[in-house]
Amino acid sequence: MDQDNTNMQQEPVKNLRGSGKKVGKFLVAVIIFAAGWLVGNGRISLNTASDVAEQVALNAPANLSTDGLQEIYDKLKANYDGDIDTEKLLDGLKKGAVAAVGDTYTEYLSPDETKEFNSDLNGTFEGIGAELSKKDNFVVIVAPIKGAPAEKAGVQPQDIIVEIDGEPAADITVSEAVKRIRGEKGTTVKLKLIRDGEAVDVSIVRDTIDIPSVEWSIDGDIGTIIISRFGDDTVSLTQKAAKEFASKNIKKVILDLRGDPGGLLDAAVGVANVWLPEGTTILEEKRGGETVKTFTAPNSPILEGVKTVVLINEGSASASEIVAGALRDNKAATLMGEKSFGKGSVQQLLDLKNGGSLKVTIARWYTPAGKNIDKEGLEPDQKVERTVDDIKAGRDPQLDAAKAALK
């Protein structure tokens, strides 16, 4: 995540379990992409350039010599049997240079990719509706978005993508997978997936994906808030739900963060503030082991003291984990469900002159209790599994357990 405006990202995965078994876990850092992209972005959390003081990487020279690159270009131009697209060549050079850093979440985005990234953060795009991450050499499914084409086609969490439209999908980035999977509404993409060691072929008709960031409801004396992503409107919508609960004297709340890959860091801080008093620590950012910034609740809370259960699972990442960790460490809520994704780094999105952007890891974030959950995730206070069979049958034992705990 980053400091102010952020998105999330994702990374590894284990093997998918069979239909009667638990939906598998991810031990990774995540950038989430809905339909193809939702974060480094993780979904990640992004900072704007003005929000963070410029920092200089250790052992990095002031300038890089490009003599070798010019030599390669000269020889390529003189000897290549074909046309050379210089724009693509430059984009490739930029991507390769950034990728050489060796960090999953540090990435060069072209102008088109930057536009897609921002539209994903706003919750509207055309694609299949699935959160993607990277595990070893393969792109994997973190979770299909509820009601989206991917879910309807039978795509499941931790499915490993090995082919896209008949072409191999090994050793490609999440961004490349997104490009190949996305497309106009009404068109079809064919994926070959590995699930439980077996190959599964699915054909998915793309559609327009429009995800509301917050939904809420009241059932008896329990209010439920579902946050699917952390965008520009998430804090205001969560506050609206909380005020409605308060006006109706609701004293028991379920905050459902399952399958939420994250988003903006300031949105995570604002949501946590709905429960936490002004001045309460929500997270710390550290760089090189030293604290560079502490985020605290900025305003008076609406639901302070309201008994709250937070639902998490392997698809809960980044901003979701920040909120869940902050509420638990400050004893404002208990966590229920399954271990979260494990995205404990912060990315900053830097604008480039060509309209592209550089997404770069600038720090690690820590819960109020001082824990960094990168590749470990948050363990729930009460573990409740939801199997693939539960999902297919429309059962939700995690939500049922939350309601029972509150009653």
Write down the catalytic residue from 95, 252, 343, 359.
343
* Residue 115 is a catalytic residue: no
SS3 99: helix
Alpha-carbon span 43 to 352, nearest angstrom? 20
* Residue 175 is a catalytic residue: no
Do the Cβ atoms of 190 and 206 come closer than 8 Å?
Answer: no
* Residue 343 is a catalytic residue: yes
Do the Cβ atoms of 341 and 28 come closer than 8 Å?
Answer: yes
SS3 190: strand
Q: In Å, how far from its chain's centre is CA 377? A: 13
Task: Count CB atoms within 10 A of the CB of residue 296.
Answer: 17
Write down the catalytic residue from 45, 175, 318, 357.
318
User: Where on the phi/psi map is residue 136: left (φ > 0), alpha (ψ -120 to 50), or beta?
Assistant: left
- Angle CA(95)–CA(372)–CA(264) in degrees, nearest 5? 55
- Beta strands across the sheet bearing 382-383: 214-219, 222-227, 252-256, 307-312, 334-337, 382-383
Q: Which of 369, 323, 357 is nearest to 343 (CA)?
A: 323
Q: What is the DSSP letter of 54?
A: -
| β-bridge pairing 357-366 and 345-351 | antiparallel
Alpha-carbon span 31 to 132, nearest angstrom? 8
* Per-position b or e across 318-356, b if 16+ CB within 10 A of its CB: bbbbbbbbbbbbbebbbbbbbbbbbbbbbbbbbeeeeeb
Q: Which DSSP string corresponds to 211-256? A: --SEEEEEETTEEEEEE--B-TTHHHHHHHHHHHHHHTT--EEEEE
Task: Output the CA torsion 178→180→185→186 (10° steps).
Answer: -140
Do the Cβ atoms of 342 and 376 come closer than 8 Å?
Answer: yes
The catalytic residue positions are 318, 329, 343
